[in-house]
Amino acid sequence: MAAAAAVLGEEVSGPVDLGGSSRSHVLRCATPGGGTVVVKAYRAHWEVAELPYYPAYR
């Protein structure tokens, strides 16, 4: 969740488990403005999945 907060520039809270697989985990987290963000972590890193084509990573 710390990596998601760093990308968004704001804290995320209230993680809800959305499932995943043996190698990944998916959470829905709340943002301070009342929105939500989906965070996917891979077992090897347990950080936000990097999506190079997504503008937030440029």
Indicate whether 57 belongs to any domain.
no
**Band (58; pLDDT cuts 50, 70, 90):** very low
Total of domains in the chain: 1
Indicate whether 22 belongs to any domain.
yes
pLDDT value at residue 53:
46
pLDDT value at residue 45:
53
pLDDT value at residue 56:
47
Rounded to two decimals, what is the model's pTM? 0.66
pLDDT digits (tens, 9 = 90+) for 4-55: 888 889 999 998 989 888 788 888 999 999 999 998 887 665 444 454 544 4
Show the domain range for 34. Answer: 2-48
**Residue 45 CB partners (closer than 8 Å, separation 6+):** none
Indicate whether 30 belongs to any domain.
yes
Transcribe the chain into DSSP letters. -HHHHHHHTS--EEEEEEEE-SSEEEEEEE-TTS-EEEEEEETTT-SBPP-TTSGGG-
Indicate whether 56 belongs to any domain.
no
pLDDT value at residue 50:
53
